[in-house]
Amino acid sequence: MKYTLPPLPYPYDALEPYIDARTMEIHHTKHHQTYVDKLNAALEKHPELFEKPLEELLRDPAQVPEDIRQAVINHGGGHYNHSLFWMIMGPPSTGSLQGPEGPSGPRMAGQANAGGEPSGALAQEINQKWGSFEKFKEQFTNTALNIFGSGWAWLDIYQGKLKICTTANQNSILMENKKPILGLDMWEHSWYLLRQNRKNEYVDAWWNVVNWKEVESRYKNV
């Protein structure tokens, strides 16, 4: 089956004012769509690969024929990374979000309370490993800002433990046997329209839209 662009689980303006609607729309309908299209175009040369889960191809790209291997790494990785990225964000718990019935209406299920801090077992492991959530946040932020060129910062699980790591381009961390639970897109298209060169503002703002409930559920389902 051909890959298709997954719909965003919230409207384009839902992450305002931290990530603007125009950036979200272009990022989703142009950038992500292009990864989907180019992944499909590559796999059409070896259609039997449509039957395999994308995770499997990304975990072990050696099984992908050489003529499309790099295209699958780039565009399959791009599709996988962005699909995760949309899910681990959500409307901030303070800000302009309103429920479907207006300011006094209920928030949409599963869409509230982004930002803040994780809870439960994930919070415990973060505190154990980094000392506090603030220290974790600082290290993740520094790691993201130190990426040279385009790439991603990740909170992942490797050999049963939480780690912070980065990948270049659209490389998937599945290739390194790591499981991503939180990812931050550090390609310029993620912030340039709103913030130009001020990528530190983008990272600071992004923490307000992290959907920790989703990250926690990925942490539990390892």
Of 20 and 118, nearer to Mn ion (C-beta) is 20
Q: Would you count residue 18 as binding Mn ion (CB under 5 A)?
A: no
Contact with Mn ion (CB under 5 A) among 187, 191, 206, 219? 187
Contact with Mn ion (CB under 5 A) among 16, 20, 156, 185? 185
Of 153 and 162, nearer to Mn ion (C-beta) is 153
Q: In Å, how far from its chain's centre is CA 64?
A: 24
Q: In Å, how far from its chain's centre is CA 116?
A: 17
Of 75 and 118, nearer to Mn ion (C-beta) is 75
Tokens of 161: 């433990």
- How far is the CA of 55 from the CAs of 26, 151, 183, in angstroms? 25, 19, 16
- Binding range to Mn ion, per CB under 5 A, among 15-23, 58-66, 148-156, 184-192: 184-192
Half-sphere exposure of 167 (CA within 13 A, CB side): 26
Q: Rounded to the nearest whole angstrom, what is the least distance from the CB of residue 126 to Mn ion in the complex?
A: 25
Q: Would you count residue 154 as binding Mn ion (CB under 5 A)?
A: no
Q: Rounded to the nearest whole angstrom, what is the least distance from the CB of residue 82 to Mn ion in the complex?
A: 6
62, with CB counted inside 10 A (0-12, 13-18, 19+), is: exposed
Q: Would you count residue 10 as binding Mn ion (CB under 5 A)?
A: no
CA distance 23 to 20: 6
Helix (H, G, I), strand (E, B) or coil at 162: strand
Site residues for Mn ion per CB under 5 A: 185, 187
